[in-house]
Amino acid sequence: MKRTITLALAVLMLLPVAFAQGVPEGFGDGGKDVELSFFTGKVETIDVIDGIMDDFNALGNGITIEQEYQNDASNIIKIKFASGEVPDIMTTYEQEYVDQRQYLDLSDMNQWWDRLVPSMKDSCTDVNSGKQFRVCTNMTMAGFFYNKEIFDSLGLVPATNWTDFVKNLEAIKEAYPEIDPWFIFGSEAWSLGHLIEFIPHGYLKAKYGALETKKAMLANDKEVLGFGEPDGAMAAFARGLLEVQQKGLINSDVLTATSDNCIEAFVKGEAAMFSNGMWCLSSILAKDPSMADKIGFAPYPSMMEDGVPVVLVAEDSGYSISASSANQQQAIEFLDYLFSPDNQKRYSEALGSPSAFTDVDAAWAPQSVVDGVNEAVASAANIGYTNEKPAGFTGDDAGRMVQDLLAGRYTAEEFAKAYESAWDAGF
């Protein structure tokens, strides 16, 4: 009994010394491994992230991480925040949670920022606070991918305005009736939400500038946005989509088609054009490497008379850490591993997207594609994502409204009014 008491007292006396010298790894958690949760909506990166996670988990450093993918990520994350089941690391990013300080402030993560292209740090900066609550690893461009062989056979060049764009589609349909001039994979709401971000929102960003448009969106300045106006950019967008649908210039299965269907049709020469970002490039080349010389890339044409062509040039693959996570240091340790030059080269080449890190040299695309992308970027107004949308109205929500438009539930003017109402309600 005396020996037991003496030993217990000795242990208690040593505890302050142990804490003063730093808590040993695993102390206080029973020696159990820390299990990190990683949440994403990026379907294109599942496999490469899983591979990097497997390598990280194999290090045996007491930390393991598991990935969760959800197609409707921007809405699922709301449920997770509301239920208190917030993932440690996430690729979803909503202004509501920035304002509520639900993300960890990453402003002092200089081991990342010092390596990043300066404009990408600017893109990761919150307009309201001037701080950074996410870090991106890549840059991406989005526009129209097109089949150069089809365009060359008809003497077509990418259009800069909507009238010429429709003429190109009509020429393709007339010459090749079996080909869908513009393939839209409308079963995936995010892709239709992107069309709104890139075309009507893109018009505003090009006209007023990125910063002023962000401020207008956060303030819901209707004089600048004009979403519900019958002659505004949103109504013009809806009118244009209904026009190409009524003329049979898009695929008839628009409401059920998936991104996989789109890639398959493009590779087989059954689709002449589709809208997407560089993240789809790896899927195209995986199905048919010979497509490298056939892929063209063009800006979005202007639908408004006073508009200009636009192309998305923005941050891609952004990561945030939960401010309520009990495993913040371990999450940073995983991101340090993910952001290493070797893993970022691996990631960029798998994704088909240029790295935002200056010390990463990745062959992210064949040179012919890179040249085409650079030409498109130089020829159009460069816009970013719409991150300042109201928390209660996500890009997926907007995409579902476009699904309803294509299902015949709105006229163009009704769509514009409904979009404005949904945007207002989202605040």
Q: How do residues 310-360 score in pLDDT, each as one tens digit?
A: 999 989 999 999 999 999 999 999 999 999 999 999 999 998 889 999 999
Class of domain 30-139+315-351: alpha beta
Tens of pLDDT, residue by residue over 85-127, are 999 999 999 888 999 999 999 999 999 999 998 889 988 999 8
Measured between alpha carbons, how far is 280 from 185 in angstroms, rounded to an integer? 13
Q: Helix, strand, or coil here: 345?
A: helix
Task: Please list the ranges in the chain whose pLDDT falls under 70.
Answer: 1-32
* CATH number given to 140-314+367-426: 3.40.190.10
Q: Residue 31 has what pLDDT?
A: 46
Secondary element (H or E) of residue 277: strand 271-277
Do 242 and 412 form a contact (C-beta atoms < 8 A)? Answer: yes
What pTM did the predictor assign?
Answer: 0.76
Q: Which amino acid is at 129?
A: S
Q: Residue 119 has what pLDDT?
A: 83
Q: Residue 60 has what pLDDT?
A: 93
Q: Where in the sequence of the chain do the CATH 3.40.190.10 domains occur?
A: 30-139+315-351, 140-314+367-426
How many CB atoms lie under 10 A from the CB of residue 228?
Answer: 19
Of 153, 84, 161, nearest in space to 323 by CA: 84
